Amino acid sequence: MTEIFLAICSGALAAIAVMLLLLHRHNRRELSVLQRALGASSLWWWQSDRDSRVVWARAGRQRPAWLERDQLIGRDFWRVPGAIEAQSPAPQVIRDAVAAQRPFFDVPVTAALAGGGEIAVRLSAVPFRARGGEFRGYIGAATRNDNTAAAVIQARVAQLEREQSERAREFASAANEMESFSYSVSHDLRAPLRVVDGFANIVLEDYGSRLDELGREHLQRIIGAASRMNAMIDALLAMSRRTGRELAIERVDLSRAVRELADELRASDFSRSVEFRIEPDVRADGDPVLVRLVLQNLLGNAYKFSARVPQALIEFGHHMVDGDDVFFVRDNGVGFDSRFTERLFGLFQRFHSQNDFPGTGVGLATVQRIVRKHGGRVWAESEPGKGACFYFTLPPASAAA
């Protein structure tokens, strides 16, 4: 029985060959099993006489809705049931095979149906001989034309490609419009800011001597607020330009990028003593430019918020969680209240005074946007006065794609 099913799995033609063998062996039980399997995988199958007329036939489970058994009996086996009678002769491949009494495989046959439309099938058959070797006819099967199915699939793929191209064009157009909008908003916001900043400086310079200390302090606060607003606009535009680009995924050496960024941070302030502990040979799949921007923001924050610690410590490494690489940047700085972690990655969200730790409040929002664009996630753990640890994941290239 196992041999029979293996033969069936190899295709309709192999099944027909086995059926012929069973006919010679008169093993009706195994023949019945084979017949059921063949019927489940074909449109119809038949036995013909030596003149190629169908003497026995059965419709398979994949048969067309209009096909009946009576339509098969008595006709040439290559003629499609339900087709217009003025059908062309048998394909040359079948004529040659019948003349030589040899098998033929997957011969495509297309016919116009009397009720309208067209059907395309593939015919396969092998000669059936008596015990003495006398040719008695053919046993064969009709299966679906794979080319027809392939054509349907190709048409669907082409349609999806067109839809994808259209979406890509729409996305590019939307991106261009968003960029134009960003610069327009930037220009419109900067104009009144320049007025506020300019006139506040004029008042301070021309009339500062007539103001008391409190009045001059108010003007300085106005100038400082206008300057911060200008910096926030710059930060928003920078985030839009950097994170709006297409991903160019490749293998990134995170440890090397962290070492380079650590050297830059040390060079920015030689008065500080900061220890960097960097795990070697940590790599991930990602866009090199954007991944470096993630590390730059996280390391920059760790460096900034550990400024008041006598011996600052910043660590970078990774560990496995449920089979996924989780990367982290840890510091021993001021930390923050973990109850507000969800707000941490929002635009302009700050947990510390601008005077104590200057910044725009855009860095962590940029980190989250980049990590999500890669298909990863980012989160943080901290306690006030006990430092903070930021975690993020970068899925493998296949998942990111």
- 309-329 pLDDT, tens digit each: 888 899 999 988 877 889 999
Q: Which of 57, 92, 97 is nearest to 74 (CA)?
A: 57
Domain extents for the chain?
Answer: 2-144, 146-244, 247-401
Task: Enter the DSSP assignment of 361.
Answer: S
Lowest mean pLDDT among 85-89, 195-199, 232-236, 256-260: 85-89
Q: If you write DSSP's letter for every residue of 144-202 in order, what string do you get?
A: E-HHHHHHHHHHHHHHHHHHHHHHHHHHHHHHHHHHHHHHHHHHHHHHHHHHHHHHHHH
- 350-372 pLDDT, tens digit each: 555 555 555 556 778 888 888 98
- Does pLDDT of 284 surpass 90? yes
- 206-248 pLDDT, tens digit each: 888 888 888 888 888 888 877 777 776 766 666 666 656 677 8
Structural tokens at position 28: 């009706």
**What is each CA distance from 215 to 203, 209, 210, 225, in whole angstroms?**
10, 10, 9, 16
- The residue that leads in pLDDT, 76 or 45, is 76
* CATH number, domain 146-244, options 3.30.1140, 2.60.40, 1.10.3470, 1.10.287: 1.10.287
Q: What share of the chain is helix, strand, coil (3-state, %, to 5)?
A: 50, 20, 30
**SS3 assignment, position 330:** strand
**SS3 assignment, position 326:** strand
CATH topology of domain 2-144: Beta-Lactamase (3.30.450)
The pair phi, psi for residue 377, each rounded to 5°, is: -145, 160
Inter-residue contact 393 to 400 (CB < 8 Å): no
**Position 304, amino acid:** K
Structural tokens at position 221: 């606060």
* CATH number, domain 247-401, options 3.30.565.10, 1.10.1840.10, 2.40.40.20, 3.60.140.10: 3.30.565.10
Tokens 């660590």 belong to: 315
Model pLDDT, residue 288: 87
Tokens 């295709």 belong to: 11
Global pTM exceeds 0.75? no
Inter-residue contact 320 to 308 (CB < 8 Å): no
